[in-house]
Every structure is written in C-alpha cells, then in structure tokens.
Amino acid sequence: MKHYPEASKLADHYVHGNGKLLKLDEDVYIGSTIVRDVQAVMKRQIQLDLKESRGSGISLASADGRLFRRKDYLALLDKSRNKNSQGRVLIGGWLLTEQDNQRLQKANNRFRLDSVSQMSDGRISTTWRVDDDYVFEPLSKGYYTDITLGEKMALRMPDGLSQYMTTLGIAKSFKHYAEWREIWNPEPPGEPAPTKTPTAKGASHAASHATH
C-alpha cells in the first residue's frame, strides 16, 4: 500500500497504536474535489455569519442546517454529480469522497468537515478540521475492503475479520483527525442566497472502513 500512505498509517496504528488519537496529513483532504466544493459553499455562509456576528468568531460544520437551506449546497447532494470524479454530499452532511481519488478513498471514504472562522483586517481566517473513527463493522454487516495489489488485481478483505482482531486483542479502534488553516478574502456582494428548503434530516453513520 505504498501509494496510499494515510491508509497504511491507519492500518499500522490499528495494530500498534494502542487506541491513541492519530493525526493525518491534511494534504489528503486539501486536494479533494468534494472538499473544495463544500468549502466554497461553506465560505459563502461563513461570510454571512461573520457579518451578522459583528466580529465574533463563528463555527460551521458540513452538517449544519444553515447549509441545507442553500441552493448551492443542495446542488452538492444531487445524484447527477459524478461520484467517481466529483464525489457528493450525503444526507446528514457527510462528504462522500470522489472514488477516483484512491489515496483519500482508501483512508476515509465518508466524513464531515468542521470549521471555525474569525475576521481580521478585512480577511477571514478559517481552521478546517476532519474528525473520524477508525473502526470496522462485524461480519454480519457484510462490508469489505478491496486492497489493490496491482493494476488489475485486488485482495478483498471482509471488514468483519478486521473487527474480530479487536476481540482477540490484536488491534484497537481509535480516533483520527486532520486540521489546517486557511486565510482568504471575502467574496464581493452577490453570492448565492439561501433557499427556503427545509433542513435535511441527518442520517446515522455506521462507522466502517468500508464506508470510510
């Protein structure tokens, strides 16, 4: 798995990390199409919220109901988006990784994006963060992970076998995160306005490496 450094790091930590929190390289998220598309909409909302807060810092997550009232955010949930090259947002504010991005797909296939922002000297400073759990579902769920061995060869591993490693005491589930800071200029007036669409209801997240 030399081409998937984050996935390798996660797998190694599963066995040797003793359940400790793990930090991932933020570049794997920064380069993602779906992350950039979600950030673009979140920035418009952040700009509006900062204006209303009159200088106070604000937080915004991809699951926030304010986003689900925006046309430009709802467009990211549209199933017409190419899942392989673009990814999409799922109900509940989960970002589904574009599947062609194998580096991120193998490390984290579904996640939420959080942010904390502050206005300073006419510019906005935002700290972006992804938090998730590295856990596997039992065999009864039927999930699996494909490990690429060559151009046309992959090893299909049932996630239940990985989950059973925790029962045997060989491995331990853990939390992992990535965090980065961005300083950006507000958009000029005229950004897409929120719609009156009702807030989407969040769906439960079955934390599984097959869906990570």
Residue boundaries of the structural domains of the chain? 5-197+205-211
* 44, 72 contact by CB (below 8 A): yes
pLDDT at 2: 53
How is residue 106 written in tokens?
């193998």
pLDDT at 171: 81
pLDDT at 56: 86
The DSSP code sequence of 112-157 is --EEEEEEETTEEEEEEEEEEEE----GGG--EEEEEEETTEEEEE
Token pair 């949930």: residue: 77
Distance CA 52, CA 61 (A): 17
Q: Which residues contact 89 (CB under 8 A, 6 or more apart)?
A: 34, 38, 62, 73, 76, 77, 95, 96
Per-residue pLDDT of the chain (212 residues; tens, 9 = 90+): 457 899 889 988 988 999 999 999 999 999 999 999 999 999 999 999 999 998 789 999 999 999 999 999 999 999 999 999 999 999 999 999 999 999 999 999 999 999 999 998 999 999 999 999 987 666 666 666 665 545 666 556 666 666 657 777 778 889 999 999 999 999 887 645 454 444 443 333 333 343 44
User: 88-90 and 144-150 as β-strands: parallel, antiparallel, unpaired?
Assistant: unpaired
pLDDT tens, position by position, 140-151? 666 666 655 456
User: 114-120 and 58-61 as β-strands: parallel, antiparallel, unpaired?
Assistant: antiparallel
* 207, 132 contact by CB (below 8 A): yes
| Among the listed residues 43, 86, 100, the one whose alpha carbon sits nearest the alpha carbon of residue 66 | 43
Distance CA 91, CA 9 (A): 29
Rounded alpha-carbon distances, angstroms, from residue 29 to 41, 121, 129, 166: 16, 28, 10, 28
